[in-house]
Structure 1
């Protein structure tokens, strides 16, 4: 991407913090506050994610007045400023029209639908200045990869991704509605347009939604192949994707972005108090709970309001009524795997095996026999599926060597442990201690039992080991 940046079209999102007096930050002429950069357009950021960044910055600069901006600059580049009713982009008629302080909507509607792409230079996405009559402009990289530069992490899992390999949508129906594909593959630009408003979808997408009744695979006829494979004309021979693994099939869509944290953990076997589950109309998968243990969705039926969550045997007057189909009413408190110490100060060993294959020995620690049931992040996400307040930046990545060295120095100085996995990979437990206070001793016990289990005493400090001061 570096070579493309050199072409003069660079977008810096929330990377620049301007600290000036309120008089300098006047809304009308904000493009003049940076001296020495003549061809710069500055827009005030409205991103909610910057509230998180603000807290992090104040860890070291508590008294500073921060304003977050995004810059777009490119010497002499034409700027797309408006979209006609036909969908054709038009250049700004003059430099004055292109002033950042005088934004105008790019489609019929209100400012609430302002496009986040309004102030991109053309060459941020295109390898050369596009001809407005050219129907096939060249891109700096595959369009979906371009989208992923900014649209990462949450809220980008779509139905076309969920099925994995193979056809998940009846392509003929997409083409019928004028929705293009990339060599038969559904991509971002199949449904979305990039030159009009935020989240803008192609006109054909709306037509497909109306005609097919729903873009929800449970209620329409467009996405049958998302869950099923083979021919669907014989109900007795219907098969499912993912080798009939319903957990893998359902969680392809209903993942941490889509599913509420109150959902029951799957992949576990019924206990002594819930043994009857498999004999009372709640089927198990290889002896363990799966999504379809609780949910049953008859295909081709409207979603309906009487039982919108497709609970077996529903509708129910309350969630508790449904839970009591398997759980005894006199034992209504859910087993929290993080509450590991009893009222007498003893470790409740039954909580250990929710995450571990066996109860770890305090003397030897983790062994292959007592290791986690699966990798850390998927294990955590079985319960923590909708942590919408978590920073939107994806931190579950491999830590660069220089940051790893910085983290090790921080750990040594402050007597804490921020564990990584494999090739210096950050996991949920790098920042969060999943244990109750008193289970582990020494450095490994720091943060246990605290709010959110943070291994450092303050949220604003959690960034410091890898990104900041020692």
Structure 2
């Protein structure tokens, strides 16, 4: 028995010794576990392989190191035998494996690569130790939390930061997350409408480039899912797939490769301004129009659409001009800001929306066209009136050539219906003058302001029935040199407003408003104009406000006996107009196309030797409107020549003018005329003001007499008798005939 016990102890000792002295290769590793939950994936850990060193009928034995995860291992379950992931993970585009990451990408240590430095499934995924931070439905065995795409950004540095970093913005959006994107696999962030990487990209199973959840190459559907208002760009001139198919963006991509939107915008790696994808023309201060000029330049893809000649001004403050349009304005960096901001500027995209679709008419053209204006159906007048509210009053007037000259054409060969009401006279781009004139100027005038009007108001012009004749109010004169001060606009040699300019057509006329007193009156049905409308800047009837702006002292005639609207309202001037039609001044003076050159006299001449007397006698005659005031005797003895040297200066109290009998021009030696003693525009020489309208009977102290009380010229010849001769000048009973010497 003792011998048997010794044998047992010996064998036990030998077994223990053998176990501790066996080679490491014969020792099973500590990690392998043949339990079912491990061996279901790590089948080489089954005893048959690790202990017995044998294979099976299905799997031959292979001498190998400890197995690591491989794409084949993952697929052995995701092939449909356990979970069918073939459609989502193994078809179409997916995150690359079996290749190294880009050299400039920094891979955190938490994401292992294989022994060749390649990315594998296990780089992002692990079947062990999944964090419980996220639910199993979102965790998908990734190595760290990917809440709001935080895991993506760990490797893809530089893809965040928004437009300031040249990337599409991330985070909460103002617009609603489109349901159609979510239905295609887009993932929103944890906050409402939060944009994250996975909103646009899906790592597994995308049929599109760059792992996008929707097609963005052809019609840029992914971009339009959110930015659907930009869809008007499709098939327009700004769709570079049609108009510049060989051009390339800043990444060297053609429009076909980058997609419709990618020709001008990049989601990542763009210029900071508008995520721009094309080379900007230098380092200009105004970024907004630099975007446009990057194509619209002599070497650009839109070289045939560059601005030639004069264009609408840009980089101006609409706020400073008192304008309040419902249009976008931008700062120097190209950012859209409120109109009331100090930095707000009018720029190219204020009027143009580069994504705007064409009008119904343009859509029928081959190829389709668009002017990209921010208006409905291309009606330019609706855009212009946003800023130029007062100028829009032209609509429906005689200057709206859609009604009065529908067959005429502007400098671009456009009819009024093609150019719209504003484009008839003004071109926003490519105009020949600084005031953007759209009609051909035939004559090179020293002062072009009135030449603008004469492009229509001439023989064979659109307004040939309203041609200005010879006997009209003078233009191209400097009122300051004539001692005249006015608040009406004056114009320089370039046709621009200038305080030291000259009188032109536009001084008295506002071509955009038919009736100065009623902006809502457009003169429908093309009526004949009168002194109350006719595109005048100020009314001439019933009050002479326009004329009085320059001819201040002449406006004192209002409501005196010489205001025929008071004393003879039915009397007509030489054109057959009553004072209601011609105005107070027009009763005696014709501003345009009169029959008499001298003083633009607007009535038939009466009797008398000199032209100044004949003007007075046209009313103060037997059949005239002033026939109740015809003096029995009204002339100074002839050939008694008077010298008024020193008394021929207007404005002085002793002013006593003499006139040439033939021309009415001022002279210093001549006969006395009616206007020598009478100022026909001022009833009382002591009161520089209009009359009262009461038609008082005159005396020797008023009656339109000039102020001569202190130094009458009569006393030069008649001495102390001068006062009586002056008082009874028109009294035939008191006067004695004196024979001529």
**TM-score, L = length of structure 2:** 0.23
Which structure has the larger Rg? 2
- Answer 1 or 2: higher relative contact order, Cα 8 Å, separation at least 6: 1
**TM-score, L = length of structure 1:** 0.33
